[in-house]
Structure 1
Amino acid sequence: MPTDPTARQVADLIARYTPEMADAITACRRKLCARVPRGYELVYDNYNALAIGYAWADKASASLVSIAAYPRWVTLFFLYGKDLPDPDGLLEGDGVRVRSIRLDAPGDLDRPAVRRLLDLALAPHEADFAAAPPLKTVIKAITARQRERRPA
């Protein structure tokens, strides 16, 4: 069990999922932390999902990508995904800004097409990330009312 209070709190939030989902969330998180070693990992335990954004500053508007953990899957969100080139047709959604990919497994983050999308999404703020401190996890919000984290 982590000794850092924030790390312990995030571990407790993830532990509310089934062991299989907790493993998937942890693996996705580990891969994204390796891809974004500087900046802020912003944690929001919302009504529908546990969302973890990766940002160059300690504010939601600086988040460029995030994962959201639902009871049965993890989704990778590109918060400015509408304008990303997507020759492989991976991005889902038709909102004004956000696009996503439902991950079948954490290994999907290693697929070349997904890695390209991550690179493109993060590139506009490469200098901001480089100037940021080593990745710091910040709990931004925990909603009192939440859906069950395990499938019914």
Structure 2
Amino acid sequence: MAAKAPTPEKQLASFIAKFTPEMAKRIRVTRAKMRRRIPQAAEMVYDNYNFFVIAYGPNDKASDAIFSIAAQAKGLSLFFLQGAKLPDPKRILRGAGSVVRHIRLEDDDTFDRPEVEALIALALQRAKTPPSTPSTAPAPARR
């Protein structure tokens, strides 16, 4: 009999456990904040060479994702996957490409800043397909 595959939640926990305890805690805290902010969003998990990524969107299609949290040993960022189109009067978005922008999450409080919340709300409002149905479990990890 084949071994039972780990649940998506256990896969996610195993990826997070690869980080230092401090960074793992920051990833879990930021993920919890995203889940509270958009509980209806689907979560997609990617573990690749440079980054560990948790993406959020209306379904499990990466092309429909609106946000992602990207972690590496040096830090954590919140990516706005259509961020180049967002007005940014406080100039907090980083990046120079034609599509994506990000905010470096220097600490757990950065996510809660009013200007970050305003950008999240605007990105959700402008999303081609906004999340609309509840989703609680992350999609299986992709490599």
| 1:46-125 aligned within 5 A | 46-125=48-127
* Identity rate, percent: 41
**Equivalent residue number for residue 146 of structure 1:** none
Higher strand share: 1
| 1:14-33 aligned within 5 A | 14-33=16-35
Query: Is this contact kept in 1: 2:95–2:102, CA < 8 A?
Result: yes
Secondary structure of the corresponding residue to residue 61 of structure 1: helix
Q: Distance in 2 between matches of 1:85 and 1:69?
A: 25
**Structure 1 unmatched runs, 5+:** 143-152
Secondary structure of the corresponding residue to residue 10 of structure 1: helix
Q: Distance in 2 between matches of 1:74 and 1:127?
A: 26
Aligned partner of 2:137: which letter?
K
Q: Distance in 2 between matches of 1:134 and 1:65?
A: 15
Q: Distance in 2 between matches of 1:40 and 1:134?
A: 5
Q: With the length of structure 1 as denominator, give the TM-score of the two structures.
A: 0.85
> RMSD over aligned Cα, in angstroms?
1.6
Corresponding position: 1:135 with 2:104? no
Corresponding position: 1:45 with 2:30? no
Query: Is this contact kept in 1: 2:83–2:123, CA < 8 A?
Result: yes
Write out the 4+ residue segments of structure 1 that deviate beyond 6 Å after TM superposition.
none
Aligned partner of 1:66: which letter?
S
Q: With the length of structure 2 as denominator, give the TM-score of the two structures.
A: 0.90
Higher helix share: 1
The count of aligned residue pairs is: 138
